[in-house]
A = this chain, B = another copy of it.
């Protein structure tokens, strides 16, 4: 019921504020940011807080900092990484469709890889989870489904799949509620080492 209180540092506030200005286009790509000292003065925080925020924006691919020169805003569509999809979707929920398409592209291939490389233990765990998904209340089903996909990613043994999944998991697109039978079918294909069947079953679940 109760949730942990959100603590946030000054630098994080500055970071999020400027990040959202860039993502929303209010700070156009190619334009120049005010000098650090001036930003600190405007935002009424210390220059170190501003600096920390700017360095994080640089790491995210949103701005380019140059020693001795001004700081420029970059085009996030060209320079940002997948991590930025999280604030982008929160800023523009219509982008959820993009995320769903991304997930639909990824997970069937994850299932294919898992069918090829999963260990017996991993298969067991996936079958167990699929079984537990048969009958339960909604909340528990959601947790189990999350566990299932998590285990599937592990079974694929692919680190790129894992890291990309870490990002989309932060959003909970909420869509699609595959039936327990769907999960069971996928688990069966995995147990049989049926790569094509696993990919097709997952593909069907993404619709």
**Residues of A in contact with B (beta carbons under 8 Å apart):** 7, 11, 48, 51-52, 55-56, 59-61, 67, 77-85, 88, 95, 98-99, 101-102, 104-106, 108-110, 113, 158-164, 166-168
Contact = CB atoms under 8 A, between A and B. Distances in A.
Given A52-B51, A52-B55, A59-B56, A163 B101 contact: no
- Majority DSSP secondary structure for residues of A touching B: helix
Contacts of A161: 98, 101-102, 105
Given A7-B67, A105-B105, A105-B106, A84 B163 contact: yes
Contacts of A55: 11, 52, 55-56
A76 to B, nearest CB: 8
Given A67-B7, A166-B78, A102 B52 contact: no
A154 B99 CA distance: 15
A107 B52 CA distance: 36
Nearest to A160: B102
Contacts of A108: 105
B81 A163 contact: yes
